[in-house]
Structure 1
Amino acid sequence: MSRIGKKPVDLPSGVEAKVSGQTIEVKGPKGTRSFTATDDVTLAVEDNAVTVTPRGKSKRARQQWGMSRTMVANAVEGVTNGFKKELEINGVGYRAQMQGTTLKLSLGLSHEVNFEVPQGVTVTAPKQTQIIVEGIDEQQVGQVAANIREWRKPEPYKGKGIKYLDEYIFRKEGKKK
């Protein structure tokens, strides 16, 4: 039995959900998100909360139960508060700045990296060594942050590169003479 799936997803004030078939559409102050569940679960909106119940007792139905409830909860969280990933740049001469919808990164390469920000995501660079990625879709925010980090992952000797703000870089000791 799914302990996550049993708990209904509460809808805060200002958020409304509409179910049509297997698709749920959640509208809130930050925008609209929709999620299409598989045929193994049933979605219902009752008493200002969304409930997800499995159809049958098959293994697949029980797997989809918890996952579908989490996806609905993420949609509600996204249209209410949104999601945010913070990146930090470490290294001499490494910097970032926004120009329109392009993030310009100087990362010690022979050229400047121009990263085009996709629709639905907001990227800001309040400081030259800080990047903030925000949006209502958790998967898209995480993917954009990972794509930015991919340009220069942190290395273990000096810690230079782009890292998540809460990430710990395991440091190695250099060669001894």
Structure 2
Amino acid sequence: MSRIGKRPIAVPDKVSVTIDNQHVAVKGPKGELSRVLPAGITVVQDGGTLQVVRENESRSLRQLHGLCRTLVANMVEGVSQGFQKKLEIQGVGYRARVDGRNLVLVVGYSHEVKIEPPAGTQMAVDGNVNITVSGIDKELVGNLAAKIRAVRPPEVYKGKGIRYAGEVVRRKAGKAGKK
């Protein structure tokens, strides 16, 4: 049995969970999320905890068990606390700003790159080089941060580009260090 799938999910006091067959809706102080689980996977509410249960031991349900438990746990955490990803810009002249809801990046191209966030996510820029992506849906926050990083990933010779906060970029020596 899945070790992750067996773990119960603690539901905070401010969060309410509605289960209707395969449809799970979670409502909390930060917002509301819902998801339809695959057939054969059900969520059982027992007081202040949730348990994800599969109906049989088929291979496909065993594969989905831990995933569904993690998705429901992320929904509960998202509506109660929210998620955020931080990115850093490194490079001379590289900077970012927020224009309305859009993020505008100046990262060495002949034009500015504008990124429009999906509904339910927010972006903030601190000091022209620190970007914070936040929201209640972990999948949307992670995808938006990856989309921003993909505009100019860090290069290996000088380390210029957009990277996650705390990300370590392996550097290459270049021509001079080849001797």
TM over 0.5: yes
Distance 1:23 1:166 in 2: 37
Counterpart residue number, 1:149: 149
The answer to whether the 8 A contact 1:75-1:137 is kept is: yes
Distance 1:68 1:115 in 2: 30
> Gaps (5+ residues) in structure 2?
none
Aligned residue in 1 for 2:61: 61
User: What one-letter code is carried by the residue in structure 2 that aligns with 1:85?
Assistant: K
The Cα shift of 1:70 comes to 0.6
SS of equivalent to 1:150: helix
**Residue aligned with 2:33, SS:** strand
RMSD (Å) for aligned C-alpha atoms: 1.0
Over the matched positions of the two proteins, sequence identity in percent amounts to 46
Distance in 2, Cα, partners of 1:162 & 1:42: 40
Q: Is 2:118 aligned against 1:118?
A: yes
Partner residue in 1 for 2:45: 45
Aligned residues of 1:40 and 1:60 also touching (Cα < 8 A): no
Q: 1:159 and 2:159 equivalent? A: yes
1:43 and 1:52 in contact (8 A); partners too: yes
1:81-96 equivalent positions in 2, closer than 5 A: 81-96=81-96
- The whole-number CA distance in structure 1 between the counterparts of 2:149 and 2:165 is 11
Instruction: Give 3-state SS (helix, strand or coil) of 2:105's partner.
Output: strand
Please give the secondary structure, in 1, of the residue aligned with 2:126.
coil
5+ residue gaps, structure 1, are none
Equivalent residues of 1:9, 1:73 under 8 A apart: yes
1:139 aligned onto 2:156: no
TM-score (norm 1): 0.97
Quick one: which amino acid aligns to residue 147 of structure 1?
K
Residue-by-residue CA offset, 1:127-177 (whole Å, 9 max, x unaligned): 101100001111110111111111111001110000000211001101028
What is the TM-score normalised by the length of structure 2?
0.96
Q: What CA distance in whole angstroms lies between the structure 1 residues aligned with 2:103 and 2:67?
A: 34
> Which consecutive aligned stretches of 4+ in structure 1 deviate over 3 angstroms post-superposition?
none
How many residue pairs were aligned? Answer: 177
Structure 1 counterpart SS, 2:147: helix
Q: Structure 2 CA distance, aligned partners of 1:146 and 1:64?
A: 24
Alignment of 1:94-113 (within 5 A): 94-113=94-113
Residue type at the aligned position of 2:88 = E
Distance 2:11 2:153 in 1: 38
